[in-house]
Chain A
């Protein structure tokens, strides 16, 4: 760019205009956030009550709630975490501690691939591998959530373990600990807080996932009697209410969004707080 033909005043004016434009862009980016939070708080806050959290969803005209979908979401996220978190941490340990060679490179590549796969594709895979044989179930939903969670936990825990300085590992080895005990008794406890933060972020992410649950857990108007039955989840319930076309069900969707957004934002804030304690 050629600035030399301009006077100093012109350049300063342009500088100020650019600053203002950049500020406006930032404001523009934050405007939707403010509006979404405002609408969710106002519309959802009006409808939200204790009975909304403790009753089953009803047809239009009746006061329904989302008790079954809260339970369903919690169950599926818990199941997904039981599978996804240990697997993710194990592959994180492998990548950071033994992370050279063919296996590690292929694993890293496949985890990257899994990160960038749209979540609905994960849903198709689980449909093909589980749902076709055993039908819609909480297991299928949890499996798809675990697949989404796995690469996030793995790559972030790899980064965390790599930050642990090498001399701490060497100190453990010098004291005569074998390698697996260095990993289990020095590395993992030392990184506990950071790993916990990464896990919380991943859990917050899968709480809001809708697309893969549409055709793995399907949804349910009642409590699922067992884990092999179609199960309701908060996000799918909101989706169904929003598309119902009835005004009172739409109000319930606002309340559902209120619960979901509050939960996710709370988890994000908590990770923020944990991170601050660490540093």
Chain B
């Protein structure tokens, strides 16, 4: 019986092969599955899906438009002053709302001077923190300490300024600055009277605030360096510090630079803390002890009570300058960090 069944089956298969009508039928059923499905036409995509996508897209363009209008509006608001003073606006140290004479040089100088001072103080500390947490400290300790460092970044800047004004400034006035004046007043950097408030206090507060930024950027870049580089250095007999110099710092140098520039960006735009400790006098001064004013702090001090349109416009011009500088600085930092991350991608 089985044999008979087999015979009929074979006959059927033979018939399939021989009969052109049946063969065609078979080929069609087989060729259906490997055939590629056509991409759906636009009208075939679910309506809700399209609506969702375009909703997202319109929102995105809304945000982009908002940012564009921000740039345009700030430029438009500062145009009267820029037009009135021309390039002189950036090279004039006079800022006087009585004579309606406004120039931003003293403010630009104040911003750059305080930020530079902050960098000099914060860079060794920030890089040191990153190295200690990544390379030396045991994992538990590093975890706890990094949480504390992040907390440092979370404290609002007005509290930093307040603390600086009532704890740091009296200490500077009573102990550090008189000593500096006694011993180093032959240097132009330390000329003047120990007022407490001034560029030195602003630099110290800024330094405290940018240490977490520098440390966290450096840590990320150091983490991107392959572990095998460190092991190679240790295997060749390097001590831990030599390993840090050879494998970590050398390779992570551009990351360190990126972190420094990011910290600089934060220092340039920092407003409240600086406003409270810098002494608020618009003067171009090369002494660390002198009170000064930065671009951000003059905005905080005068913007709400600007008495003339030209004054308001000049203040907005200062804001525009600050805007441009911080975009340039941050763009540079991002480029550097992006490059180092690309360099180490793949090698782990």
Same complex: yes
Residues of A within 8 A of B (CB): 1, 3, 11-12, 14-15, 18-19, 21-26, 28-30, 32-33, 35-36, 39-40, 87, 90-91, 93-94, 98, 103-104, 106-107, 110-114, 116-125, 127-129, 147, 150, 178-180, 183, 204-205, 207-211, 214-215, 218, 235, 238-239, 242-243, 250, 253-254, 257, 260-261, 264-265, 268, 272
B274-328 at interface with A (beta carbon < 8 Å):
276, 296, 299-300, 303-304, 316, 319, 322-323, 326-327
In the complex the two chains form, is B132's CB within 8 Å of A25's CB?
yes
Is B175 part of the contact surface with A, judged by Cβ < 8 Å? no
With a CB–CB cut-off of 8 A, which chain B residues contact A117? 70, 269, 323, 326-327
Most chain A CB neighbours (cut-off 10 Å) among B64, B151, B156, B268: B156
With a CB–CB cut-off of 8 A, which chain A residues contact B276? 239, 242-243
Most chain A CB neighbours (cut-off 10 Å) among B51, B159, B269: B159
In the complex the two chains form, is A36's CB within 8 Å of B132's CB?
no
In the complex the two chains form, is A18's CB within 8 Å of B241's CB?
yes
Is B126 part of the contact surface with A, judged by Cβ < 8 Å? yes
Residues of B within 8 A of A (CB): 46, 48-49, 51-53, 56-57, 59-61, 63-64, 66-70, 73-74, 77, 124-126, 128-129, 131-133, 136-137, 145, 147-152, 154-163, 165-167, 208, 211-212, 215, 238-242, 244-246, 265, 268-272, 276, 296, 299-300, 303-304, 316, 319, 322-323, 326-327, 330, 334
Q: List 13 A-B pairs, Cβ < 8 Å.
A: A15-B239, A25-B124, A26-B132, A26-B145, A29-B212, A114-B67, A118-B270, A120-B319, A124-B74, A124-B303, A178-B48, A208-B156, A209-B156
The complex places the Cα of A116 from the Cα of B327 at a distance, in Å, of 7
With a CB–CB cut-off of 8 A, which chain A residues contact B211? 29
With a CB–CB cut-off of 8 A, which chain B residues contact A111? 63
In the complex the two chains form, is A15's CB within 8 Å of B129's CB?
no
Known: A33-B152, A120-B296. A208 touches B158 (CB 8 A): yes
In the complex the two chains form, is B240's CB within 8 Å of A235's CB?
no
For residue A149, give the distance in angstroms from its CB to the closest CB of chain B: 12
The 4 closest A-B pairs by CB, nearest first: A208-B156, A118-B269, A25-B128, A116-B330
In the complex the two chains form, is B327's CB within 8 Å of A107's CB?
no
Known: A25-B128, A40-B163, A257-B159. A118 touches B271 (CB 8 A): yes
In the complex the two chains form, is A261's CB within 8 Å of B159's CB?
yes
The complex places the Cα of A111 from the Cα of B167 at a distance, in Å, of 37
In the complex the two chains form, is A120's CB within 8 Å of B271's CB?
yes
The complex places the Cα of A179 from the Cα of B46 at a distance, in Å, of 9
In the complex the two chains form, is A260's CB within 8 Å of B159's CB?
yes
With a CB–CB cut-off of 8 A, which chain A residues contact B304? 214-215, 218
With a CB–CB cut-off of 8 A, which chain A residues contact B300? 120, 211, 214
Can you name the residue of chain A whose Cβ is closest to the Cβ of B163? A36
In the complex the two chains form, is A238's CB within 8 Å of B158's CB?
yes
With a CB–CB cut-off of 8 A, which chain B residues contact A260? 156, 158-159
With a CB–CB cut-off of 8 A, which chain B residues contact A238? 158-159, 162
In the complex the two chains form, is B136's CB within 8 Å of A22's CB?
yes
With a CB–CB cut-off of 8 A, which chain B residues contact A272? 147
In the complex the two chains form, is B272's CB within 8 Å of A239's CB?
yes
In the complex the two chains form, is B74's CB within 8 Å of A11's CB?
no
The complex places the Cα of A243 from the Cα of B300 at a distance, in Å, of 13
Known: A26-B145, A94-B57, A118-B269. A261 touches B63 (CB 8 A): no
The complex places the Cα of A32 from the Cα of B327 at a distance, in Å, of 29
Known: A91-B60, A110-B64. A116 touches B265 (CB 8 A): yes
In the complex the two chains form, is A15's CB within 8 Å of B64's CB?
no
Select one of B48, B63, B296 contacting A180, CB under 8 A.
Answer: B48
Can you name the residue of chain A whose Cβ is closest to the Cβ of B162? A242
The complex places the Cα of A74 from the Cα of B57 at a distance, in Å, of 31
Most chain B CB neighbours (cut-off 10 Å) among A93, A98, A211: A211
Can you name the residue of chain A whose Cβ is closest to the Cβ of B61? A103
In the complex the two chains form, is A128's CB within 8 Å of B74's CB?
yes
For residue B103, give the distance in angstroms from its CB to the closest CB of chain A: 19
With a CB–CB cut-off of 8 A, which chain B residues contact A25? 124-125, 128-129, 132
With a CB–CB cut-off of 8 A, which chain A residues contact B150? 268
With a CB–CB cut-off of 8 A, which chain B residues contact A128? 73-74, 77, 316
With a CB–CB cut-off of 8 A, which chain B residues contact A15? 239-242
The complex places the Cα of A74 from the Cα of B330 at a distance, in Å, of 31
The complex places the Cα of A103 from the Cα of B147 at a distance, in Å, of 37
The complex places the Cα of A64 from the Cα of B277 at a distance, in Å, of 25
Can you name the residue of chain B whose Cβ is closest to the Cβ of A22? B132
With a CB–CB cut-off of 8 A, which chain B residues contact A36? 155, 159-160, 163
Known: A98-B56, A118-B271, A119-B271. A125 touches B154 (CB 8 A): no
In the complex the two chains form, is A30's CB within 8 Å of B322's CB?
no
Select one of A110, A129, A261 contacting B155, CB under 8 A.
Answer: A261
Select one of A106, A123, A183, A208 contacting B64, CB under 8 A.
Answer: A106
Select one of B49, B151, B152, B269 contacting A120, CB under 8 A.
Answer: B269
In the complex the two chains form, is B159's CB within 8 Å of A118's CB?
no
Select one of A28, A93, A121, A254 contacting B56, CB under 8 A.
Answer: A93
In the complex the two chains form, is A268's CB within 8 Å of B136's CB?
no
The complex places the Cα of A263 from the Cα of B92 at a distance, in Å, of 44
The complex places the Cα of A183 from the Cα of B319 at a distance, in Å, of 40
